[in-house]
Amino acid sequence: MLLEPPKTAQVDPLLLPFLQAADGEAEAALADLLTTEARPVIQAILRRDPLLDGADLEGEIFLCLIERLRRLRRDPGEDGIRDFRGYVAVVTYNVVSRHCRRRGRERSGAREDGGDPLLRLPDPAPDAALAFERRTYLVRLWEEIRQLPPRQAAALLLNLRDGQGRNAAALLPLTGIATLREMAAAVGLPPEKLAELWNRLPLEDAGLAGILGATRQQVINLRKSARERLARRMRGR
């Protein structure tokens, strides 16, 4: 049985830096909230069962939290989160519970279906399946981005934005797929330089041109080449 996250119109003060941040600073505030407040709670729970795949589950939990927090920022009239750490714990237990049920069904199916993989598909519950699918795709995408020439990776990642124009590259560290140091290596920048740029992402092409020592058109061409290569590689996997 899944637990019900607490619902209330009040908001935990821990959330205020993110909820009240200017648009250009919200993603950095969200990353800080998740790494300093949510991750210790998540890891403390996941460590209780050494059989759990902590990295994958943590990524799934982060995706659930990110969607909920962004929704709360967009619509302050929504039910608030009075106790953020308690909410994180409930979400974590729910994700672990779904994972354990799926694992149990897969083991049972292995005995009953003679090993047919199509009969042992994981739980198709939309929330769990969607989060897992998104993280799996991000892992594959990051693996391919790391293979790009650094200038192509920089033109792509430092300009990457979601449907609302926000820093989409932030999903990589937020979901535990890549650290800022690893991202800096991929784009050919010192970690300190990437940290300095982080709150300004996504960068416009003119800004990227100055960083890369290129023209604006060259930046566009680098990103186009990166996207074409990624498209080919992702289709082939």
Within-domain flag for 6: no
- 22 three-state secondary structure: coil
Residue 55 in this model has a pLDDT that exceeds 50 = yes
**Residue at 5 is within a domain:** no
Choose between 139 and 8: higher pLDDT. 139
Q: Do 230 and 139 share a domain, yes or no?
A: yes
Query: 115 with 135, same domain?
Result: no
Confidence (pTM)? 0.52
**Mean per-residue pLDDT, 2-9:** 44
9 has a pLDDT exceeding 50: no
1 burial (CB, 10 Å; 0-12 / 13-18 / 19+) is exposed
When mean pLDDT is compared over 28-37, 40-49, 193-202, the highest value belongs to: 28-37
pLDDT of residue 110: 47
CATH number at residue 108: 1.10.1740
- Domain enclosing residue 115, as ranges: 13-120
For the cut 50, the answer to whether the pLDDT of residue 176 exceeds it is yes
Same domain, 136 and 223: yes
Per the model's pLDDT, the better-predicted residue between 38 and 103 turns out to be 38
Mean pLDDT score, 53-70 = 83
Tell me the one-letter amino acid at 130.
L
pLDDT, averaged across the chain: 80
The number of domains in the chain is 2
Q: Out of 59, 91, 120, pick the residue that ends a domain.
A: 120
User: Residue 171: in which H helix or E strand, if any?
Assistant: helix 171-174
Of 150, 156, 188, which Cα lies nearest the Cα of 169?
156
Domain's final residue, options 90, 120, 150: 120
Asked if residue 122 has a cis previous peptide bond (ω within 30° of 0), the answer is no
Same domain, 39 and 57: yes
What residues contact residue 178 under an 8 Å CB cut-off, 6+ apart?
Answer: 142, 172, 186
**Token reading at 136:** 């799996």
- The pLDDT of residue 89 is above 90: no
Q: What percentage of the chain reaches a pLDDT higher than 90? A: 31
Domain boundary among 60, 93, 120: 120
pLDDT of residue 201 exceeding 60, the answer is yes
Same domain flag for 142 and 226: yes
3-class state of residue 8 by DSSP = strand
3-state secondary structure of 52: coil
141 and 70 within one domain: no
- Residue 196 is assigned to a structural domain of this protein: yes
Q: Residues 191, 94: one domain? A: no
Instruction: Determine the Cα angle at 78 with ends 73 and 81, to 5°.
Output: 75
Length of the chain: 237
In terms of domains, do 165 and 67 share one? no
- Tell me how far CA of residue 70 lies from CA of 30, 48, 74, 80, 140, in angstroms: 9, 29, 6, 12, 24
- Check whether residue 157 and residue 224 sit in a common domain: yes
